[in-house]
Amino acid sequence: MNGAQDLGGMMGFGPVEPEPEDVRFHAPWEKRALAVTLAAGAMGAWNIDASRHARETLNPADYLSSSYYEIWIKGLEKLLLARGLVTAEELAAGRALAPGDPGQRVLKAADVPAVLARGTQYDRPPEATARFAVGERVRTKVMHPAGHTRLPRYARGKVGTIARVNGVFVFPDTHAHGKGECPQWLYTVAFSGAELWGADGDATLTVSIDAWESYLEGAAA
Q: Nearest-CA neighbor of 216 among 170, 156, 174?
A: 156
pLDDT band at 80 (very low <50, low <70, confident <90, very high): very high
221: pLDDT strictly greater than 70 = no
Tell me the C-alpha distance between 187 and 220, whole Å.
18
- Judged by average pLDDT, the poorest of 51-55, 100-104, 150-154, 168-172 is 100-104
Question: Could you name the CATH architecture of 28-118?
Answer: Orthogonal Bundle (1.10)
Instruction: Enumerate the domain spans of the chain.
Output: 28-118, 123-218
**177-212 pLDDT, tens per residue?**
999 999 999 999 999 999 999 988 888 999 999 999
Residue 139's φ and ψ, nearest 5 degrees, are -120, 135
- What predicted TM-score, i.e. pTM, was given to this entire model? 0.92
Nearest 5°: CA angle at 78, between 48 and 102? 80
Tell me the C-alpha distance between 191 and 193, whole Å.
7
What CATH number is given for 123-218 in this structure?
2.30.30.50
pLDDT of residue 203: 84
**28-74 pLDDT, tens per residue?**
999 999 999 999 999 999 999 999 999 999 999 999 999 999 999 99
For residues 176 and 53, the answer to whether their CB atoms sit within 8 Å is yes
